[in-house]
Amino acid sequence: MSFKEALQQQVLIADGAMGTLLYSQYGVDSAFEGLNLTHGGDILKIHQAYIAAGADVIQTNTYAANRIKLNRYGLADKTKAINEAAVSLAHTAQIAAEHTVYVLGTIGGIAGVTDTEIEPLTAEEIDAGVQEQAEYLLNTQAIDGILLETYYDIDELKRALKIVRKLTDLPIVANVTMYEPGVLQDGTPLNTALQALVTLGADVVGANCRLGPYNMRRAFESVALPENAALAIYPNAGLPDVQDGKTVYDSPAEYFENYSDTFRQQGAHLIGGCCGTTPAHIKGLVAGLQSRQPVTTKKVAPQATVAAPTAADPQQHDFLQRVQHEKVALVELDPPKTFATTKFFRGAQELSQAGVGAITLSDGPLANPTISNVALAAQLKYQYGITPLVHLTTRDHNLIGLQSEIMGLHTLGISNILVITGDPAKVGDLPGATSVYDLHSVELMQMIKKFNDGISPTGRNLQEKTNFAVGGAFNPNVRNVERACKMITRKTDYGADFIITQPIFDVEKIHALRLALDEQEITTPIFVGVMPLLSFRNANFLHHEVPGIRLADDTLARMQQAEVDGNEREVGLQIAKETIDAICADFNGVHINTPLRHHEISLELLNYVQAKNTVTV
Protein backbone atom coordinates (compact mmCIF):
# COMPACT_ATOMS: atom_id res chain seq x y z
CA MET A 1 0.00 0.00 0.00
CA SER A 2 1.40 3.41 -0.92
CA PHE A 3 1.87 6.17 1.61
CA LYS A 4 -0.95 8.18 0.03
CA GLU A 5 -3.34 5.22 0.15
CA ALA A 6 -2.44 4.49 3.78
CA LEU A 7 -3.14 8.10 4.74
CA GLN A 8 -6.60 7.94 3.22
CA GLN A 9 -7.52 4.78 5.11
CA GLN A 10 -6.00 5.17 8.58
CA VAL A 11 -4.35 7.46 11.07
CA LEU A 12 -0.58 7.12 10.88
CA ILE A 13 1.86 7.87 13.66
CA ALA A 14 5.02 9.73 12.66
CA ASP A 15 8.32 9.90 14.50
CA GLY A 16 9.47 12.64 16.88
CA ALA A 17 12.44 14.92 17.13
CA MET A 18 15.80 14.01 15.65
CA GLY A 19 17.59 17.21 16.68
CA THR A 20 16.57 16.93 20.35
CA LEU A 21 18.24 13.54 20.70
CA LEU A 22 21.34 14.60 18.79
CA TYR A 23 21.59 17.82 20.81
CA SER A 24 21.65 15.85 24.06
CA GLN A 25 24.58 13.87 22.71
CA TYR A 26 26.57 16.31 20.56
CA GLY A 27 25.61 19.79 21.75
CA VAL A 28 24.32 22.83 19.92
CA ASP A 29 27.42 23.62 17.84
CA SER A 30 27.19 20.47 15.78
CA ALA A 31 25.84 20.24 12.26
CA PHE A 32 23.37 17.47 12.95
CA GLU A 33 22.90 16.69 9.28
CA GLY A 34 26.65 16.25 8.85
CA LEU A 35 26.44 13.31 11.26
CA ASN A 36 24.85 11.34 8.42
CA LEU A 37 28.37 11.01 7.04
CA THR A 38 30.39 10.70 10.24
CA HIS A 39 28.08 9.02 12.76
CA GLY A 40 25.55 7.21 10.62
CA GLY A 41 25.16 4.47 13.22
CA ASP A 42 23.75 6.94 15.73
CA ILE A 43 21.23 8.24 13.20
CA LEU A 44 20.19 4.70 12.33
CA LYS A 45 19.63 3.86 16.00
CA ILE A 46 17.30 6.84 16.38
CA HIS A 47 15.26 5.77 13.36
CA GLN A 48 15.06 2.26 14.77
CA ALA A 49 14.02 3.53 18.20
CA TYR A 50 11.12 5.47 16.72
CA ILE A 51 10.03 2.49 14.65
CA ALA A 52 10.20 0.28 17.75
CA ALA A 53 8.01 2.83 19.54
CA GLY A 54 5.37 2.32 16.85
CA ALA A 55 6.07 5.03 14.29
CA ASP A 56 4.60 4.31 10.85
CA VAL A 57 6.40 7.27 9.27
CA ILE A 58 9.98 8.41 9.76
CA GLN A 59 11.72 11.41 8.26
CA THR A 60 15.26 11.70 6.97
CA ASN A 61 17.82 13.63 9.00
CA THR A 62 17.86 16.42 6.43
CA TYR A 63 15.94 19.28 8.04
CA ALA A 64 18.85 21.69 7.53
CA ALA A 65 20.64 19.77 4.77
CA ASN A 66 20.48 22.59 2.25
CA ARG A 67 23.50 24.40 0.91
CA ILE A 68 22.66 27.64 2.72
CA LYS A 69 22.50 26.18 6.22
CA LEU A 70 25.31 23.69 5.71
CA ASN A 71 27.57 26.52 4.60
CA ARG A 72 27.63 27.78 8.20
CA TYR A 73 29.57 24.64 9.11
CA GLY A 74 31.74 24.51 6.01
CA LEU A 75 29.74 21.58 4.64
CA ALA A 76 28.12 23.16 1.57
CA ASP A 77 30.21 21.04 -0.78
CA LYS A 78 28.83 17.91 0.92
CA THR A 79 25.15 18.80 0.42
CA LYS A 80 24.52 15.99 -2.06
CA ALA A 81 26.37 13.36 -0.03
CA ILE A 82 24.64 14.34 3.23
CA ASN A 83 21.17 14.07 1.70
CA GLU A 84 21.94 10.76 0.02
CA ALA A 85 23.39 9.30 3.22
CA ALA A 86 20.33 10.43 5.19
CA VAL A 87 17.97 8.65 2.79
CA SER A 88 20.11 5.52 2.88
CA LEU A 89 20.04 5.40 6.69
CA ALA A 90 16.28 5.89 6.87
CA HIS A 91 15.75 3.30 4.15
CA THR A 92 17.90 0.80 6.03
CA ALA A 93 15.71 1.23 9.10
CA GLN A 94 12.60 0.97 6.93
CA ILE A 95 13.40 -2.36 5.32
CA ALA A 96 14.40 -3.89 8.66
CA ALA A 97 11.13 -2.86 10.35
CA GLU A 98 8.61 -5.52 11.38
CA HIS A 99 5.68 -3.36 10.27
CA THR A 100 5.11 -1.13 7.28
CA VAL A 101 7.09 2.10 7.57
CA TYR A 102 7.16 5.05 5.18
CA VAL A 103 10.12 7.42 4.69
CA LEU A 104 9.69 11.14 4.10
CA GLY A 105 12.52 13.28 2.77
CA THR A 106 12.57 16.37 4.97
CA ILE A 107 13.19 19.95 3.79
CA GLY A 108 13.10 22.64 6.48
CA GLY A 109 12.31 26.33 6.20
CA ILE A 110 15.23 28.59 5.37
CA ALA A 111 14.00 32.20 5.55
CA GLY A 112 15.46 34.18 8.42
CA VAL A 113 18.52 31.96 8.78
CA THR A 114 21.57 34.11 8.05
CA ASP A 115 24.91 34.93 9.57
CA THR A 116 25.11 38.37 11.17
CA GLU A 117 27.64 39.53 8.58
CA ILE A 118 25.42 38.62 5.64
CA GLU A 119 22.36 40.43 4.37
CA PRO A 120 19.04 38.53 4.51
CA LEU A 121 18.64 35.91 1.81
CA THR A 122 16.66 36.71 -1.30
CA ALA A 123 13.70 34.59 -2.37
CA GLU A 124 15.74 33.41 -5.34
CA GLU A 125 18.57 32.18 -3.10
CA ILE A 126 16.14 30.35 -0.82
CA ASP A 127 14.30 28.74 -3.73
CA ALA A 128 17.55 27.56 -5.28
CA GLY A 129 18.42 25.84 -2.01
CA VAL A 130 15.05 24.05 -1.95
CA GLN A 131 15.33 23.02 -5.59
CA GLU A 132 18.79 21.52 -5.11
CA GLN A 133 17.94 19.61 -1.95
CA ALA A 134 14.66 18.29 -3.31
CA GLU A 135 16.42 16.95 -6.39
CA TYR A 136 19.03 15.15 -4.28
CA LEU A 137 16.34 13.55 -2.11
CA LEU A 138 14.13 12.52 -5.01
CA ASN A 139 16.99 11.16 -7.12
CA THR A 140 17.62 8.48 -4.50
CA GLN A 141 14.27 6.93 -5.46
CA ALA A 142 14.09 5.57 -1.92
CA ILE A 143 11.58 7.91 -0.27
CA ASP A 144 7.80 7.75 -0.12
CA GLY A 145 7.18 11.47 -0.03
CA ILE A 146 8.52 14.90 0.86
CA LEU A 147 7.99 16.67 4.18
CA LEU A 148 8.19 20.49 4.13
CA GLU A 149 8.29 21.51 7.78
CA THR A 150 8.83 24.43 10.16
CA TYR A 151 7.85 27.20 7.77
CA TYR A 152 6.97 30.42 9.62
CA ASP A 153 6.75 32.31 6.32
CA ILE A 154 3.73 31.09 4.39
CA ASP A 155 4.99 32.66 1.16
CA GLU A 156 8.24 30.73 1.45
CA LEU A 157 6.31 27.50 1.98
CA LYS A 158 4.09 28.18 -1.01
CA ARG A 159 7.13 28.69 -3.20
CA ALA A 160 8.79 25.53 -1.86
CA LEU A 161 5.61 23.55 -2.47
CA LYS A 162 5.39 24.75 -6.06
CA ILE A 163 9.03 23.80 -6.65
CA VAL A 164 8.69 20.29 -5.24
CA ARG A 165 5.32 19.69 -6.88
CA LYS A 166 6.90 20.27 -10.29
CA LEU A 167 9.59 17.71 -9.51
CA THR A 168 7.48 14.78 -8.29
CA ASP A 169 4.10 13.11 -8.06
CA LEU A 170 4.96 11.67 -4.65
CA PRO A 171 2.87 12.87 -1.70
CA ILE A 172 3.95 16.17 -0.15
CA VAL A 173 3.35 17.07 3.49
CA ALA A 174 3.39 20.86 4.03
CA ASN A 175 3.59 22.05 7.63
CA VAL A 176 3.44 25.66 8.77
CA THR A 177 4.69 26.88 12.14
CA MET A 178 2.84 29.34 14.38
CA TYR A 179 3.92 31.63 17.18
CA GLU A 180 0.30 32.24 18.15
CA PRO A 181 -2.32 29.44 18.16
CA GLY A 182 -4.43 29.60 15.01
CA VAL A 183 -2.63 32.43 13.22
CA LEU A 184 0.58 32.72 11.20
CA GLN A 185 3.17 35.41 11.75
CA ASP A 186 1.72 37.55 8.95
CA GLY A 187 -1.74 37.40 10.50
CA THR A 188 -3.14 34.74 8.15
CA PRO A 189 -5.57 32.38 9.93
CA LEU A 190 -4.31 28.79 10.05
CA ASN A 191 -7.37 27.44 8.24
CA THR A 192 -6.91 29.92 5.38
CA ALA A 193 -3.23 29.05 5.04
CA LEU A 194 -3.83 25.29 4.96
CA GLN A 195 -6.58 25.58 2.37
CA ALA A 196 -4.21 27.60 0.16
CA LEU A 197 -1.56 24.87 0.44
CA VAL A 198 -4.09 22.24 -0.62
CA THR A 199 -4.93 24.35 -3.67
CA LEU A 200 -1.23 24.39 -4.59
CA GLY A 201 -1.03 20.61 -4.56
CA ALA A 202 -0.13 19.50 -1.03
CA ASP A 203 -1.43 16.04 -0.13
CA VAL A 204 -1.12 16.63 3.62
CA VAL A 205 -1.24 20.02 5.33
CA GLY A 206 -0.70 20.84 8.95
CA ALA A 207 1.53 22.41 11.56
CA ASN A 208 4.63 21.50 13.50
CA CYS A 209 6.95 22.94 16.13
CA ARG A 210 6.72 25.90 18.49
CA LEU A 211 3.38 24.98 20.12
CA GLY A 212 2.81 22.19 22.63
CA PRO A 213 -0.19 19.82 22.57
CA TYR A 214 -2.55 22.20 24.38
CA ASN A 215 -2.09 25.15 22.03
CA MET A 216 -1.84 22.91 18.96
CA ARG A 217 -5.28 21.52 19.81
CA ARG A 218 -6.61 25.06 20.20
CA ALA A 219 -5.18 26.00 16.81
CA PHE A 220 -6.84 23.11 14.99
CA GLU A 221 -10.29 23.56 16.52
CA SER A 222 -10.99 26.20 13.85
CA VAL A 223 -9.48 24.20 10.96
CA ALA A 224 -11.93 22.55 8.57
CA LEU A 225 -11.31 19.12 7.08
CA PRO A 226 -9.73 19.85 3.70
CA GLU A 227 -11.04 18.26 0.52
CA ASN A 228 -8.62 15.98 -1.30
CA ALA A 229 -6.00 16.27 1.43
CA ALA A 230 -5.27 15.14 4.99
CA LEU A 231 -4.26 17.01 8.12
CA ALA A 232 -1.00 16.60 10.04
CA ILE A 233 -0.19 17.67 13.61
CA TYR A 234 3.36 17.63 15.01
CA PRO A 235 3.43 19.48 18.39
CA ASN A 236 6.45 20.15 20.54
CA ALA A 237 6.76 18.38 23.87
CA GLY A 238 5.83 21.67 25.56
CA LEU A 239 7.85 24.70 26.53
CA PRO A 240 11.60 24.24 26.99
CA ASP A 241 13.57 24.95 30.14
CA VAL A 242 17.26 25.71 30.62
CA GLN A 243 19.08 23.54 33.13
CA ASP A 244 22.82 23.78 33.67
CA GLY A 245 23.11 25.76 30.45
CA LYS A 246 21.29 23.17 28.33
CA THR A 247 17.83 23.35 26.79
CA VAL A 248 15.61 20.55 28.08
CA TYR A 249 11.97 19.53 27.77
CA ASP A 250 10.40 18.11 30.93
CA SER A 251 6.97 17.26 29.55
CA PRO A 252 6.30 13.56 30.26
CA ALA A 253 5.30 11.12 27.53
CA GLU A 254 2.03 10.39 29.37
CA TYR A 255 0.90 13.96 28.68
CA PHE A 256 1.36 13.38 24.96
CA GLU A 257 -0.69 10.21 25.20
CA ASN A 258 -3.66 12.21 26.48
CA TYR A 259 -3.75 14.27 23.29
CA SER A 260 -3.32 11.55 20.71
CA ASP A 261 -6.98 10.78 20.11
CA THR A 262 -7.85 14.45 20.50
CA PHE A 263 -5.72 15.18 17.45
CA ARG A 264 -7.43 12.36 15.56
CA GLN A 265 -10.81 13.89 16.39
CA GLN A 266 -9.57 17.22 15.08
CA GLY A 267 -9.11 15.50 11.72
CA ALA A 268 -5.44 14.56 11.74
CA HIS A 269 -4.42 11.59 9.58
CA LEU A 270 -0.74 12.05 10.47
CA ILE A 271 0.33 12.65 14.08
CA GLY A 272 3.92 13.02 15.19
CA GLY A 273 6.17 15.04 17.43
CA CYS A 274 8.60 17.90 17.08
CA CYS A 275 11.11 19.56 19.44
CA GLY A 276 11.55 17.80 22.76
CA THR A 277 9.76 14.61 21.76
CA THR A 278 11.44 11.21 22.06
CA PRO A 279 10.54 7.59 21.26
CA ALA A 280 8.70 7.52 24.59
CA HIS A 281 6.40 10.34 23.42
CA ILE A 282 5.70 8.52 20.16
CA LYS A 283 4.93 5.34 22.08
CA GLY A 284 2.47 7.46 24.05
CA LEU A 285 0.81 8.67 20.85
CA VAL A 286 0.33 5.08 19.72
CA ALA A 287 -1.10 4.03 23.07
CA GLY A 288 -3.44 7.02 23.22
CA LEU A 289 -5.21 6.37 19.92
CA GLN A 290 -8.67 4.94 20.55
CA SER A 291 -9.08 4.19 16.86
CA ARG A 292 -7.05 4.25 13.68
CA GLN A 293 -10.11 5.30 11.72
CA PRO A 294 -9.85 8.91 10.46
CA VAL A 295 -12.82 11.15 11.19
CA THR A 296 -14.89 12.23 8.21
CA THR A 297 -16.89 15.02 9.83
CA LYS A 298 -15.92 17.66 12.31
CA LYS A 299 -17.55 20.53 14.12
CA VAL A 300 -15.37 23.52 13.32
CA ALA A 301 -15.14 26.16 16.00
CA PRO A 302 -15.58 29.69 14.68
CA GLN A 303 -12.38 31.66 14.32
CA ALA A 304 -11.86 33.67 17.46
CA THR A 305 -13.18 37.14 16.84
CA VAL A 306 -10.57 39.76 17.52
CA ALA A 307 -11.33 43.40 17.09
CA ALA A 308 -9.76 44.80 13.96
CA PRO A 309 -6.83 47.10 14.66
CA THR A 310 -7.92 50.68 14.94
CA ALA A 311 -6.00 53.25 12.97
CA ALA A 312 -3.50 55.36 14.87
CA ASP A 313 -4.22 59.01 15.39
CA PRO A 314 -3.26 60.82 12.18
CA GLN A 315 0.25 62.18 12.46
CA GLN A 316 1.86 64.01 9.61
CA HIS A 317 5.52 63.36 9.06
CA ASP A 318 5.93 67.01 8.22
CA PHE A 319 9.55 66.92 7.07
CA LEU A 320 8.67 64.22 4.51
CA GLN A 321 5.84 66.36 3.18
CA ARG A 322 7.97 69.50 2.99
CA VAL A 323 10.96 67.85 1.30
CA GLN A 324 8.80 67.15 -1.73
CA HIS A 325 8.75 70.84 -2.68
CA GLU A 326 11.34 72.71 -0.60
CA LYS A 327 14.77 72.42 0.98
CA VAL A 328 14.56 70.70 4.36
CA ALA A 329 17.36 70.16 6.85
CA LEU A 330 17.42 67.55 9.58
CA VAL A 331 19.97 68.07 12.34
CA GLU A 332 21.53 65.28 14.37
CA LEU A 333 22.23 66.02 18.02
CA ASP A 334 24.03 63.28 19.91
CA PRO A 335 22.45 62.55 23.30
CA PRO A 336 24.70 63.69 26.17
CA LYS A 337 27.09 61.26 27.82
CA THR A 338 26.43 62.89 31.19
CA PHE A 339 23.39 64.29 32.98
CA ALA A 340 24.26 67.81 31.87
CA THR A 341 21.41 68.30 29.40
CA THR A 342 20.88 72.08 29.52
CA LYS A 343 23.00 72.80 26.44
CA PHE A 344 21.40 69.92 24.53
CA PHE A 345 17.84 71.19 25.03
CA ARG A 346 18.84 74.83 24.43
CA GLY A 347 20.40 73.81 21.13
CA ALA A 348 17.33 71.80 20.12
CA GLN A 349 15.09 74.79 20.87
CA GLU A 350 17.18 77.15 18.78
CA LEU A 351 17.24 74.71 15.88
CA SER A 352 13.48 74.25 16.12
CA GLN A 353 12.86 77.99 16.08
CA ALA A 354 15.01 78.21 12.95
CA GLY A 355 12.80 75.68 11.14
CA VAL A 356 14.61 72.36 11.43
CA GLY A 357 12.67 69.47 9.88
CA ALA A 358 13.43 67.16 12.81
CA ILE A 359 16.07 66.60 15.46
CA THR A 360 17.64 63.22 14.86
CA LEU A 361 18.88 61.37 17.94
CA SER A 362 21.59 58.76 17.61
CA ASP A 363 21.47 55.47 19.51
CA GLY A 364 24.83 54.96 21.21
CA PRO A 365 27.01 56.52 18.48
CA LEU A 366 30.28 54.63 17.98
CA ALA A 367 28.93 52.16 20.57
CA ASN A 368 29.33 54.67 23.44
CA PRO A 369 26.64 54.88 26.15
CA THR A 370 24.56 58.06 26.29
CA ILE A 371 21.25 59.13 27.76
CA SER A 372 18.45 57.11 26.15
CA ASN A 373 17.45 58.76 22.89
CA VAL A 374 13.85 57.66 23.47
CA ALA A 375 13.75 59.52 26.78
CA LEU A 376 15.17 62.63 25.13
CA ALA A 377 12.77 62.30 22.20
CA ALA A 378 9.79 62.24 24.56
CA GLN A 379 11.04 65.40 26.29
CA LEU A 380 11.63 67.15 22.97
CA LYS A 381 8.13 66.29 21.81
CA TYR A 382 6.11 67.04 24.92
CA GLN A 383 8.12 69.72 26.72
CA TYR A 384 9.37 71.66 23.72
CA GLY A 385 7.04 70.73 20.83
CA ILE A 386 9.97 69.58 18.69
CA THR A 387 9.75 66.71 16.17
CA PRO A 388 12.22 63.97 17.08
CA LEU A 389 13.63 61.33 14.75
CA VAL A 390 14.94 58.40 16.79
CA HIS A 391 17.74 56.11 15.65
CA LEU A 392 17.10 52.46 16.51
CA THR A 393 19.96 49.97 16.24
CA THR A 394 19.84 46.21 15.96
CA ARG A 395 23.06 46.12 18.00
CA ASP A 396 21.62 46.71 21.46
CA HIS A 397 18.29 44.92 21.50
CA ASN A 398 17.27 41.33 20.90
CA LEU A 399 13.96 40.55 19.24
CA ILE A 400 12.10 40.92 22.52
CA GLY A 401 13.68 44.27 23.27
CA LEU A 402 13.15 45.60 19.76
CA GLN A 403 9.46 44.78 19.84
CA SER A 404 9.08 46.42 23.26
CA GLU A 405 11.02 49.48 22.07
CA ILE A 406 8.78 49.87 19.01
CA MET A 407 5.62 49.52 21.07
CA GLY A 408 6.99 52.04 23.55
CA LEU A 409 7.77 54.56 20.81
CA HIS A 410 4.22 54.29 19.50
CA THR A 411 2.78 54.67 22.98
CA LEU A 412 4.83 57.85 23.37
CA GLY A 413 3.57 59.16 20.04
CA ILE A 414 7.05 59.15 18.50
CA SER A 415 6.58 58.08 14.92
CA ASN A 416 9.85 58.78 13.06
CA ILE A 417 12.56 56.11 13.18
CA LEU A 418 15.91 55.71 11.46
CA VAL A 419 16.81 52.03 11.44
CA ILE A 420 20.53 51.29 11.56
CA THR A 421 22.72 48.31 12.33
CA GLY A 422 24.92 50.19 14.80
CA ASP A 423 28.67 50.13 15.33
CA PRO A 424 29.94 46.92 16.99
CA ALA A 425 30.03 47.13 20.78
CA LYS A 426 33.74 46.36 20.92
CA VAL A 427 34.65 49.73 19.35
CA GLY A 428 33.05 51.75 22.16
CA ASP A 429 33.82 52.74 25.73
CA LEU A 430 32.66 49.38 27.05
CA PRO A 431 34.54 46.73 25.04
CA GLY A 432 33.19 44.02 27.32
CA ALA A 433 29.68 44.70 26.05
CA THR A 434 28.13 42.35 23.53
CA SER A 435 26.43 43.13 20.24
CA VAL A 436 23.10 41.42 19.66
CA TYR A 437 22.25 41.75 15.97
CA ASP A 438 19.26 39.40 16.05
CA LEU A 439 18.09 41.20 12.93
CA HIS A 440 19.59 43.01 9.98
CA SER A 441 18.48 46.61 9.56
CA VAL A 442 16.20 45.77 6.64
CA GLU A 443 14.50 43.04 8.69
CA LEU A 444 13.85 45.58 11.44
CA MET A 445 12.28 47.88 8.85
CA GLN A 446 10.03 45.04 7.80
CA MET A 447 9.07 44.39 11.42
CA ILE A 448 8.15 48.03 12.02
CA LYS A 449 6.00 48.07 8.89
CA LYS A 450 4.06 45.10 10.27
CA PHE A 451 3.26 47.23 13.30
CA ASN A 452 1.84 49.79 10.86
CA ASP A 453 -0.58 47.03 9.84
CA GLY A 454 -1.50 46.38 13.47
CA ILE A 455 0.28 43.01 13.55
CA SER A 456 3.13 41.93 15.79
CA PRO A 457 6.06 39.85 14.43
CA THR A 458 4.30 36.74 15.76
CA GLY A 459 1.04 37.53 13.97
CA ARG A 460 -0.77 38.81 17.07
CA ASN A 461 -3.43 41.45 16.49
CA LEU A 462 -2.19 44.55 18.32
CA GLN A 463 -5.61 46.23 18.44
CA GLU A 464 -4.13 49.40 16.96
CA LYS A 465 -2.09 50.37 13.94
CA THR A 466 1.09 52.36 14.33
CA ASN A 467 2.02 55.18 11.99
CA PHE A 468 5.79 55.01 11.71
CA ALA A 469 7.84 56.65 9.01
CA VAL A 470 10.92 54.46 8.72
CA GLY A 471 14.25 55.62 7.39
CA GLY A 472 17.30 53.71 6.24
CA ALA A 473 20.97 54.67 6.29
CA PHE A 474 23.18 54.69 3.21
CA ASN A 475 26.91 55.12 2.71
CA PRO A 476 27.73 56.80 -0.63
CA ASN A 477 31.45 57.01 0.19
CA VAL A 478 32.30 54.02 -1.95
CA ARG A 479 34.13 53.48 -5.19
CA ASN A 480 31.05 52.49 -7.21
CA VAL A 481 28.09 54.65 -6.18
CA GLU A 482 25.79 53.22 -8.84
CA ARG A 483 26.24 49.68 -7.56
CA ALA A 484 25.83 50.82 -3.96
CA CYS A 485 22.51 52.49 -4.82
CA LYS A 486 20.99 49.06 -5.26
CA MET A 487 21.01 48.90 -1.46
CA ILE A 488 18.59 51.85 -1.42
CA THR A 489 16.21 49.89 -3.63
CA ARG A 490 16.59 46.92 -1.29
CA LYS A 491 15.75 49.06 1.71
CA THR A 492 12.73 50.64 0.06
CA ASP A 493 11.53 47.14 -0.84
CA TYR A 494 11.65 46.34 2.87
CA GLY A 495 9.68 49.48 3.71
CA ALA A 496 12.06 52.45 3.99
CA ASP A 497 10.18 55.73 3.54
CA PHE A 498 13.30 57.90 3.37
CA ILE A 499 17.08 57.58 3.31
CA ILE A 500 19.74 59.46 5.29
CA THR A 501 23.29 59.24 3.96
CA GLN A 502 26.61 59.30 5.73
CA PRO A 503 28.34 62.72 5.52
CA ILE A 504 29.87 63.42 2.12
CA PHE A 505 33.04 65.48 1.77
CA ASP A 506 33.45 65.24 -2.00
CA VAL A 507 31.05 67.36 -4.08
CA GLU A 508 31.66 65.17 -7.13
CA LYS A 509 30.30 62.24 -5.15
CA ILE A 510 27.07 64.16 -4.57
CA HIS A 511 26.40 64.61 -8.27
CA ALA A 512 27.39 60.99 -8.96
CA LEU A 513 24.81 59.93 -6.38
CA ARG A 514 22.11 61.98 -8.08
CA LEU A 515 22.91 60.44 -11.47
CA ALA A 516 22.88 56.92 -10.02
CA LEU A 517 19.52 57.48 -8.33
CA ASP A 518 18.00 58.85 -11.54
CA GLU A 519 19.43 55.98 -13.57
CA GLN A 520 17.75 53.47 -11.24
CA GLU A 521 14.57 55.60 -11.01
CA ILE A 522 14.78 55.86 -7.22
CA THR A 523 12.37 58.56 -6.03
CA THR A 524 12.56 57.95 -2.27
CA PRO A 525 13.33 61.17 -0.34
CA ILE A 526 17.08 61.40 0.29
CA PHE A 527 18.68 63.51 3.02
CA VAL A 528 22.33 63.88 2.11
CA GLY A 529 24.73 64.13 5.01
CA VAL A 530 27.07 67.03 5.70
CA MET A 531 29.41 67.34 8.68
CA PRO A 532 31.31 70.59 9.34
CA LEU A 533 34.96 70.08 10.18
CA LEU A 534 36.40 71.75 13.29
CA SER A 535 40.10 71.24 12.68
CA PHE A 536 42.67 69.38 10.64
CA ARG A 537 43.05 66.93 13.49
CA ASN A 538 39.28 66.36 13.45
CA ALA A 539 39.37 65.84 9.67
CA ASN A 540 42.23 63.38 9.93
CA PHE A 541 40.42 61.38 12.60
CA LEU A 542 37.18 61.19 10.59
CA HIS A 543 39.00 60.18 7.42
CA HIS A 544 41.15 57.46 8.94
CA GLU A 545 39.24 56.12 11.93
CA VAL A 546 35.48 56.52 11.52
CA PRO A 547 33.80 53.78 9.44
CA GLY A 548 31.90 54.98 6.40
CA ILE A 549 33.49 58.43 6.19
CA ARG A 550 36.09 59.44 3.61
CA LEU A 551 37.34 62.94 2.85
CA ALA A 552 38.46 64.19 -0.54
CA ASP A 553 42.18 64.90 -0.87
CA ASP A 554 41.42 68.55 -1.55
CA THR A 555 39.38 68.81 1.66
CA LEU A 556 42.19 67.35 3.75
CA ALA A 557 44.69 69.69 2.09
CA ARG A 558 42.53 72.76 2.77
CA MET A 559 42.12 71.82 6.43
CA GLN A 560 45.85 71.20 6.76
CA GLN A 561 46.57 74.64 5.36
CA ALA A 562 43.93 76.14 7.65
CA GLU A 563 45.79 74.66 10.61
CA VAL A 564 48.87 76.58 9.48
CA ASP A 565 46.84 79.78 8.91
CA GLY A 566 44.96 79.48 12.21
CA ASN A 567 41.46 79.65 10.69
CA GLU A 568 40.37 75.97 10.80
CA ARG A 569 36.85 76.67 12.10
CA GLU A 570 36.14 79.18 9.34
CA VAL A 571 37.50 76.95 6.57
CA GLY A 572 35.60 73.93 7.91
CA LEU A 573 32.37 75.94 7.87
CA GLN A 574 33.07 77.18 4.34
CA ILE A 575 33.65 73.61 3.11
CA ALA A 576 30.34 72.58 4.70
CA LYS A 577 28.52 75.43 2.93
CA GLU A 578 30.07 74.46 -0.40
CA THR A 579 28.90 70.91 0.24
CA ILE A 580 25.39 72.18 0.98
CA ASP A 581 25.44 74.16 -2.27
CA ALA A 582 26.23 70.94 -4.14
CA ILE A 583 23.59 68.99 -2.23
CA CYS A 584 20.87 71.57 -2.82
CA ALA A 585 21.66 71.66 -6.54
CA ASP A 586 20.56 68.03 -6.79
CA PHE A 587 18.51 67.27 -3.64
CA ASN A 588 15.95 68.88 -1.36
CA GLY A 589 17.04 67.01 1.76
CA VAL A 590 20.08 67.81 3.92
CA HIS A 591 21.17 66.01 7.07
CA ILE A 592 23.51 68.06 9.24
CA ASN A 593 25.69 66.18 11.73
CA THR A 594 26.45 68.43 14.68
CA PRO A 595 30.20 68.29 15.39
CA LEU A 596 31.04 67.53 19.03
CA ARG A 597 27.72 69.05 20.20
CA HIS A 598 28.51 72.51 18.78
CA HIS A 599 24.87 73.21 17.91
CA GLU A 600 25.66 76.83 17.01
CA ILE A 601 27.55 75.58 13.94
CA SER A 602 24.61 73.41 12.89
CA LEU A 603 22.32 76.39 13.44
CA GLU A 604 24.36 78.49 11.00
CA LEU A 605 24.24 75.73 8.42
CA LEU A 606 20.50 75.24 8.97
CA ASN A 607 19.92 78.93 8.29
CA TYR A 608 22.07 78.61 5.18
CA VAL A 609 19.82 75.80 3.91
CA GLN A 610 16.65 77.70 4.85
CA ALA A 611 17.82 80.75 2.88
CA LYS A 612 17.77 78.68 -0.30
CA ASN A 613 13.98 78.50 -0.02
CA THR A 614 13.74 82.29 -0.38
CA VAL A 615 12.33 83.12 -3.78
CA THR A 616 13.57 86.33 -5.32
CA VAL A 617 11.12 87.99 -7.73
Rounded distance between C-alpha atoms, residue 505 and residue 484, angstroms: 17
Residue 173 Cα to chain centre, angstroms: 26
Residue 213, CB-side half-sphere exposure with 13 Å CA sphere: 24
Please answer whether residues 55 and 97 qualify as being in contact, where contact means their C-beta atoms are separated by less than 8 angstroms. Answer: no
Rounded distance between C-alpha atoms, residue 469 and residue 415, angstroms: 6
> Which residues contact residue 448 at a Cβ distance below 8 angstroms, ignoring those fewer than 6 apart?
406, 417, 419, 466, 468, 470, 495
Identify the burial level of 400 via C-beta atoms within 10 angstroms of its C-beta, where 0-12 means exposed, 13-18 middle and 19 or more buried.
exposed
Rounded distance between C-alpha atoms, residue 105 and residue 86, angstroms: 9
Rounded distance between C-alpha atoms, residue 153 and residue 121, angstroms: 13
Residue 233, CB-side half-sphere exposure with 13 Å CA sphere: 34
Rounded distance between C-alpha atoms, residue 530 and residue 587, angstroms: 13
Per the rule left: phi > 0, alpha: psi between -120 and 50, beta: everything else, 168 is: beta
Please name the amino acid found at residue 147: L
Rounded distance between C-alpha atoms, residue 594 and residue 538, angstroms: 13
275 is in an annotated binding site: yes
> Which residues contact residue 300 at a Cβ distance below 8 angstroms, ignoring those fewer than 6 apart?
191, 221, 222, 223, 224
SS (H, E, C) 501-560: EEECECHHHHHHHHHHHHHCCCCCCEEEEECCCCCHHHHHHHHHHCCCCCECHHHHHHHH
Closest C-alpha to 251, from 240, 242, 266, 259 = 240
485 is in an annotated binding site: no
584 is in an annotated binding site: no
Strand partners, 58: 103
Known binding-site positions for Zn(2+): 209, 274-275
Known binding-site positions: 209, 274-275
